[in-house]
Chain A
Amino acid sequence: MARAVTTQHKAIATAAAWIVAFLIFFPILYTIITSFKSEQEAIQGFSMIPSGTLESYREVQSQYNYFKPFMNSVILSVGSTILALFIAVPAAWSMAFSPTRRTKDVLMWMLSTKMMPAVAVLFPIYLIFRNFGLLDSRIGLTVMLMLINLPIVVWMLYTYFREIPGEILEAARMDGATLWGEIVYVLTPMAVPGIASTMLLNIILAWNEAFWTIRLTTTNAAPLTAFISSFSSPQGLFWAKLSAASTLAIAPILIMGWFSQRQLVRGLTFGAVK
């Protein structure tokens, strides 16, 4: 017999889920609320009701150029994602459809690089960037973001490709498709949902990446993460303005995430259940 689920149990579980969701979302919500307060209101203590002033936004816009870091964020996250896909699609293809005894080890090794603290390689990376003249350049940072997210992109695509029956690719081979034809006409279209959610997730990760974007840029290539952090020291006490800047920084990705959440959830749980 299936476990009985009473209405009461359901109500409690639903309430608990809402509470957890609210707790997770609260910092973002409070940042947004604070951004609509005046500086004076902001330091007066906890309040969920802002006066609704747009003063902070006006000031952020007039004093700082929001557009440039915003564009940098777009270029870096989208650019690094596309670059990562170009490398990850063939890599995941070979691991999924032509595995060797060491494929699992390679995958684990790739993932293990994500466990390494980034600060451990800060010094060598900084020197490489300096010596190649890549500091504060969009190209350098795009490559950097691509490299740090590549393991996750390969992993996600690998799990997707594993779901595609090998016989279909063999059929394409029998039908005269070259390796390129096989990937372009058969594998990629079949994996579109997977590739799309991998792209979305990677754009979000790259958008939110703060360690390297802050350390390897100053002005030219600085994305929104650097934009906010530049607020925190000189404007650290001006909470409303800081909140307005943060809201502007997270808004694009929040909206994108909201619209694509179904796709994202499907992507992250793909292959978990048949």
Chain B
Amino acid sequence: MGNIVLRNVNKSFGATTIIPNIDLDIADGEFVVFVGPSGCGKSTLLRLIAGLEDTTSGKISIDGRDVTEEAPAKRKLAMVFQSYALYPHMTVRNNIAFPLKMAGEDKAVIDKKVNDAARVLNLTNYLDRRPGQLSGGQRQRVAIGRAIVRQPSAFLFDEPLSNLDAALRGTMRLEISELHQQLKTTMVYVTHDQVEAMTMADKIVVLNAGNIEQVGSPLDLYRSPRNLFVAGFIGSPKMNLIEGAPAAKYGAHTIGIRPEHLDISTSAGEWKGEVGVAEHLGADTFLHVHTDGLGTINVRADGEVPINHGDTVYLSPDPTKLHRFSPDGKAM
């Protein structure tokens, strides 16, 4: 079991409010990602759930039990930190065994669980090494091993892949997703990387300045962003946001169109522009088109498109994929 409920949770440091009265429900077994720009309060929210920070007001329950005042150790949660936070003076074996030792488990039980975890995470050959002798990816796996042996009711991940290089990040992303499929335990994952959020989450919580902007499945957020912030944050390359006359034509203050929902033509179309940079990636082509009155518009075309720097192109938005926003930034 591992459902987590936040009610009216508030966190302030003196007069500065970091998290203003948040309500959130995380169901058992769900993979929830908190995503937002740096300083949006996503890590603070995770630390509140972990118990590493005290709430200023509000209530946090895990499996129906009020844990607001409980110490981190009593919450039955496991956490993986950005810096791995391994114990440098202990071997990999002792690192993974530490939570079991603290729980007063039998030595035989500890050995078995440590060996099992090491097998799952491909760490069997490294059990007698110290963290200093491991690569970044291996260290992160040890941190995950330390978390899984406890059989917690939920895992908390605080930007666990930020310190890894891009290739390793992709691999570890898959490993964590697979681990979730295997264990079916609730996972709460904090990241500023919306690609991680989109690829891993069952449910994404988009945070901005401590507020929850929108909660939904990755495709919900992609298809129907509730406001301009979510529209601009989710999706890569970013959604084009256009104000003024072109937006008024569609009866909105701002219109949003994703780069992949624009039709490109060299002869005719709604908006005329000149290609600034053309990025040919093979599978995709990204065009940065400078238009009159609309600014730069990003376009994503499938496959190899024979358009280059300096070419004149015409862009037409797919009207069924157009997002309309009112002056207060809310979706219409």
**Chain A bound to chain B:** yes
Query: Interface 1/0s, chain A 94-114, versus B by CB < 8 A?
Result: 000000000000000000000
Restricting to A163-179, which residues have a CB under 8 Å from any CB of B? 165, 167-168, 170-178
Stretch at the interface among B95-103, B202-210, B307-315: B95-103
Interface residues of A in 12-36 (CB under 8 A from B): none
Q: Which of A127-135, A183-191, A198-206, A232-240 contacts B (4 or more CB under 8 A)?
A: A183-191
Given contacts A175-B146, A176-B73, A189-B89, A181 and B102 within 8 Å (CB-CB): yes
- Residue of chain A at shortest CB distance from B98: A175
Chain A: minimal CB distance from B295 (Å): 42
Assembled-state Cα–Cα distance A165/B163 (Å): 16
B79 in the interface (beta carbon within 8 A): yes
Which positions 135-170 of chain A face chain B at CB distance < 8 Å?
Answer: 165, 167-168, 170
Taking a contact as CB atoms under 8 Å apart, the answer to whether B85 and A170 are in contact is: yes
Per the bound structure, the CA–CA distance linking A192 and B103 in Å amounts to: 25
Residues of A within 8 A of B103 (CB): 176
Smallest CB–CB gap between A196 and chain B, Å?
A: 14
Nearest A residue to B79 via CB reads A174
In Å, the complex CA distance between A172 and B85 comes to 9
B50 within 8 A of A: yes
Residues in A with CB closer than 8 Å to B77 are 174
Residue B19 CB within 8 A of the other chain: no
Bound CA span A177–B79, Å: 14
Judged by a CB distance under 8 angstroms, whether B81 is at the interface is: yes
Contact A171 B150 (CB under 8 A): no
Least CB separation from A168: chain B residue: B85
B60 interfacial contact with A, CB 8 Å: no
With A173-B71, A176-B150 given, is the CB distance from A167 to B83 under 8 Å?
Answer: yes
Q: Which of B82, B89, B102, B146 contacts A177 (CB 8 A)?
A: B102
Q: Judging by beta carbons under 8 Å apart, are A173 and B73 in contact? A: yes
| In the complex, chain A residues whose CB is within 8 Å of the CB of B99 | 175-176
Are A167 and B85 touching (Cβ within 8 A)?
Answer: yes
Task: Check B81 against A167 for contact (C-beta < 8 Å).
Answer: yes
Which of B52, B78, B102, B150 is close to A170, meaning CB atoms less than 8 Å apart?
A: B52
The answer to whether B81 touches A176 (Cβ under 8 A) is no
Residue in A closest to B72 when the chains form the complex, CB atoms:
A173
* CB of B58 closer than 8 Å to a CB of A: no
CB pair A178–B73 under 8 Å, yes or no, is yes
Interface membership of B126, Cβ < 8 A: no
B87 interface residue per 8 A CB criterion:
yes
How many residue pairs link A and B with beta carbons under 8 A? The number is 59
Size bin of chain A's contact surface: 10 to 19
Q: Which of A168, A175, A177: most chain B Cβ within 10 A?
A: A175
Cα A142 to Cα B42 in complex, Å, equals 51
* CB-defined contacts of B85 to chain A, threshold 8 Å: 165, 167-168, 170-171
Name the residue of chain A whose CB is nearest to the CB of B74: A176
Given A170-B52, A170-B81, A171-B79, CB of A176 within 8 Å of CB of B102: yes
Complex contacts, B79 vs chain A, CB 8 Å: 170-171, 174
Complex contact A174–B83 (CB within 8 A): no
List the A residue with the shortest CB-CB distance to B99: A175
Specify which of B72, B146, B150 lies most central, judged by the most chain A CB atoms within 10 Å of its CB: B72
Neighbouring A residues of B237 by C-beta, 8 Å? none
User: CB within 8 A of B73: which of A165, A168, A175, A189?
Assistant: A175
| A185, B98: Cβ atoms closer than 8 Å | yes
Interchain CA distance A165-B71 in the complex, whole Å? 20
* A172, B72: Cα distance in complex, Å: 10
By beta carbon, the residue of chain B nearest A167 is B85
Is B329 engaged at the interface, CB distance under 8 Å to the other chain? no
Residues of chain B contacted by A181 (CB below 8 angstroms): 102
Asked if residues B89 and A175 are in contact (CB atoms below 8 Å), the reply is no
Q: How far is the CA of A189 from the CA of B91 in the complex (A)?
A: 13
Question: Measured between alpha carbons, how far is A184 from B30 in the docked complex, in Å?
Answer: 36
Chain B residues near A185: list those with CB within 8 A.
Answer: 98
In chain B, positions 59-110 with a C-beta closer than 8 Å to chain A are: 71-73, 77-79, 81-83, 85-89, 98-99, 102-103
B102 touches A175 (CB 8 A): yes
- In the bound complex, CA of A174 to CA of B88 (Å): 17
Once A165-B83, A174-B77, A181-B102 are accepted as A-B contacts, the answer to whether A190 and B89 lie under 8 Å apart by CB is yes
- Bound-state CA distance A177–B90 (Å) is 15
Which chain A residues lie closer than 8 Å to B50 at the CB level? 174
Does the CB pair B52–A168 fall under 8 Å? no
| Chain B: minimal CB distance from A156 (Å) | 20
Asked if B89 contacts A174 (CB within 8 A), the reply is no
Q: List residues of chain A with CB under 8 Å of any chain B CB.
A: 165, 167-168, 170-178, 181, 185-186, 189-190, 192
**What are 10 A-B contacts defined by CB distance under 8 Å?**
A168-B85, A168-B87, A170-B72, A172-B87, A176-B99, A181-B102, A189-B89, A190-B88, A190-B89, A192-B89
A-B pairs with lowest CB-CB distance, top 6: A175-B99, A171-B85, A176-B102, A167-B85, A176-B73, A174-B79
Known: A174-B52, A190-B88. 16 other contacts (CB 8 A): A167-B83, A167-B85, A171-B85, A173-B71, A174-B50, A174-B72, A174-B73, A174-B77, A175-B73, A176-B73, A176-B103, A177-B73, A178-B73, A181-B102, A186-B87, A190-B89
